[in-house]
Amino acid sequence: MSLLSVVVPCYNEEENVPFFYEALLKNQVFFDDNKIDLEILYIDDGSVDGTAAEVRRLREKDERVHLVSFSRNFGKEAAMFAGLENARGDYIVLMDVDLQDPPSLLPEMFSYMEQGYDSVATRRVSRKGEPPVRSFFARMFYKLMKRISRTEIMDGARDYRLMTRQMVDAILAMKEYNRFTKGIFGWVGFRTRWLEYENVERARGETKWNFWKLFLYSMDGITAFSTVPLMLASVMGVFFCIVAFLMIVFIIVRKLIFGDPVSGWPSLVCIILMTSGVQFFCTGILGQYLAKTYMEVKRRPIYLVKEQF
């Protein structure tokens, strides 16, 4: 027998918890045929509704259900980390509770594991049902990341992923506080098979990500997996030096040939405004990295547990 740990982050998802359980167990015949034992870890990310109560109710009839309940909302990244830390399985799969990660894909994912892959990851090829502005910025983000980071981060990649114990141990060895799992998966390497599927809309309830949250998350992604923005300051510095040099040459030559009627304080104001703007911008970038470093050296725990079984 091998053990499969299903890690499910939940934040205010009381209506989805039992439906997810049912949908997952539609695979029971497959699990039995392939001698796969199951444990289901619901990670309650500080929900204020009846999410934990729903999980307790499931536990009464099924011993395989587990709960890790946070003391407050720590975010999905922390929930996934807690799930991976508490999973005991030989195989571990991360899934959303809202059924956007269809459990019906599991048999196919396992078939690839048997071919020797360390991980089977999923990506959605369409984004239908999502606000167009959000899709646009998501695409831009992945394009940018491709250019400025050496870690592979796949456009449309979900966190829905089946992994071996070995790969999960590698992920757990990365103890960073600012977690960007989509990058961590790529960073640890291992043989990954990508599975594509059409976007599925959320079963019940509302998405927990608004535009601002996603924007901050993308900043986390950039600072965690690229230092190219830091180089921007040096590049701009060199650029402005060259421009200044050309202007000096131009002014000297003009003085020698035509003499110099004094003029040009408006242009001076423009130049000062422009360069000080660039300086603030670069200091801002430095500040972003410094802030992340500050949070990192504090070594705060990634999550705090209130209740667990």
Binding site for ligand UDP (CB under 6 A): 9-11, 13, 45, 73, 75-76, 79, 96-98, 100, 202, 207-209
Q: Which does 135 bind (CB under 5 to 8 A by kind): ligand UDP, Mg ion, none?
A: none
| Smallest separation (angstroms) from Mg ion to the CB of 202 | 5
| Smallest separation (angstroms) from ligand UDP to the CB of 237 | 39
Is 199 among the residues that bind Mg ion (CB under 5 A)? no
Task: Pick between residue 39 and residue 98 the one whose CB is nearest to Mg ion.
Answer: 98
- In sequence order, what E strands does the chain have? 2-10, 36-44, 65-70, 91-94, 119-124, 157-164, 192-197, 305-308
How many degrees, rounded to 5, is the angle at CA 227 between CA 143 and CA 148? 20
Task: Pick between residue 57 and residue 208 the one whose CB is nearest to ligand UDP.
Answer: 208
Buried b (16+ CB within 10 A) or exposed e, 78-115: bbbbbbbebbebbbbbbbbbbbbbebebbeebbebbee
| Smallest separation (angstroms) from Mg ion to the CB of 95 | 10
Alpha helices in 87-202 (DSSP H): 106-114, 132-148, 165-172, 181-188
Restricting to residues 241-300, which ones interact with Mg ion according to CB under 5 A?
A: none
| Smallest separation (angstroms) from ligand UDP to the CB of 249 | 55
The structure tokens listed for 194 are: 């990508």
| Smallest separation (angstroms) from Mg ion to the CB of 168 | 22
Provide the residue type at 92 as one letter: I
Provide the residue type at 20 as one letter: F
How many degrees, rounded to 5, is the angle at CA 157 between CA 163 and CA 289? 95
Task: Pick between residue 9 and residue 221 the one whose CB is nearest to ligand UDP.
Answer: 9
Q: Among residues 34, 73, 86, 100, which is the contact residue for Mg ion, using CB under 5 A?
A: 100
| Smallest separation (angstroms) from ligand UDP to the CB of 306 | 15
Strand 91-94 with 2-10, pairing: parallel
Q: Which does 67 bind (CB under 5 to 8 A by kind): Mg ion, ligand UDP, none?
A: none
The structure tokens listed for 124 are: 């959605």
Q: Among residues 98, 118, 159, 220, which is the contact residue for Mg ion, using CB under 5 A?
A: 98
Binding map of Mg ion across residues 200-239, x = CB under 5 A, - = no contact: --x-------------------------------------
Q: Which does 79 bind (CB under 5 to 8 A by kind): ligand UDP, Mg ion, none?
A: ligand UDP
Q: Torsion angle of alpha carbons 221, 223, 225, 229, nearest 10°?
A: 120
Residues in the site for Mg ion, rule: CB under 5 A? 96, 98, 100, 202
